[in-house]
Amino acid sequence: MTAAARHPPGRVLVRAPNWLGDAVLALPTIEAIRRHFPGAHLAIAGPAPVAAVFREITAAQPDQIIEVPADRRTALTTIRAGRFDLGILLPNSFQSAWDLRRAGVPERWGYATSGRGVLLTRRSAPDRTRGIRHHADYFRALALGLGITVDERPPQVTASPATRAQADALLAQLRVPAGAAVVGLAPGAAYGEAKQWPPDRAAALAARLVRERDATCLVLGAAHDRPAARAMESWLRAHAPDALPRVIDLAGRTSVSGLVGVAERCRAFVSNDSGAMHVAAAVGRPVIAIFGPTDERSTRPIGDQVVLTAPVFCRPCLLRDCPIDHRCMKRISVDQVFDAVSTAMARAR
């Protein structure tokens, strides 16, 4: 019998992943931790965009959500004030384990990666499975190595009533009718430009959806996605000005909660390999995911989703910038994506 079994912790802290997409993929694991410690006070800590996910409706049901500030001293003070008995680390960094140690969290569990094994009081056994595995399975294996059973359910997020009300108000302000055929487009990606389907093709796709499917396209993303959104707008002004009023740029104008609420209103969602892609899949939208340099076997959206790739010799290269001609993305045509979106819209309707 483990120490945790003899003395169930009263206050448990889960340090969530630092990236939005990883946090969504970790949801089944965090929900399993919730079930494993049903009587404990469960807190989830992560950067502000990640923390926002857990303010929506999920089976994790945290008692407390902690936004980890960039300032290290403030972060330590916040965690120390929680007086947690146990901290479970989903990030692999040395710093995340060192922070819990300095904050006085007595039990620290996680993978013994990045030389931090000495800082952990319980180490998850590494998964010896060969080959490429999905990130969601990586988090599941972490929990299983700690004696926590995780089922195979996909990540699920439901917008809270407040988030839905805000999304409805935003769309009403933008004069998007309640029954409109809305398609979400996420043309950016945090990893680098190599992950982005060319913005002119995303713009051409939007124009066809407006003209041929009577769609309203919402361009979504964080502040760093604005250049891709502006490039789309420039192409539309030059080549399809009639479609421009129905292609609404919201990049950098919505929070993560806003993304959840708006994504729920979409009949289909087109995205590069990004956090927005995983959010849309988790809220139950049909996703058309476009993969280039990254490996869809490890980060594809979970569920019955469409993943488009080009059969080129050099992918997946995992590079941020393409050293040749970006053929992995350029060989995915507008026709391919348009057909996939049309099928998804018909099914959703």
| Domain CATH for 206 | 3.40.50.2000
139 and 17 within one domain: yes
Task: Flag whether 158 is in a domain.
Answer: no
Q: How many CB atoms lie within 10 A of CB 2?
A: 9
128 and 184 within one domain: no
Q: What is the pLDDT of residue 125?
A: 81
pLDDT along the chain (349 residues), means of 10: 62 97 98 97 96 97 92 87 97 95 97 94 82 92 95 95 96 93 94 91 98 98 94 98 97 95 97 97 98 96 96 95 96 98 90
Q: Of 61, 66, 63, 58, whose CA–CA distance to 41 is shortest?
A: 63
**For residue 131, what are the domain limits?**
3-144
Question: Do residues 223 and 191 lie in contact, with contact meaning Cβ atoms separated by under 8 Å?
Answer: no
340 and 194 within one domain: yes
- Structural domains of the chain, count: 2
Q: Is 71 buried (19+), middle (13-18) or exposed (0-12) by CB count in 10 A?
A: exposed
217 and 105 within one domain: no
57 and 194 within one domain: no
132 and 222 within one domain: no
181 and 123 within one domain: no
313 and 236 within one domain: yes
112 and 238 within one domain: no
Q: Is the pTM of this model over 0.85?
A: yes
Q: How far apart are CA 279 and CA 174, in angstroms?
A: 22
Q: How many CB atoms lie within 10 A of CB 334?
A: 18
Q: What is the pLDDT of residue 1?
A: 36
CA dihedral for 296, 299, 302, 306, sign (positive or negative): negative
Helix/strand/coil percentages in the chain, nearest 5: 45, 15, 40
Q: How far apart are CA 103 and CA 96, in angstroms?
A: 11
195 and 94 within one domain: no
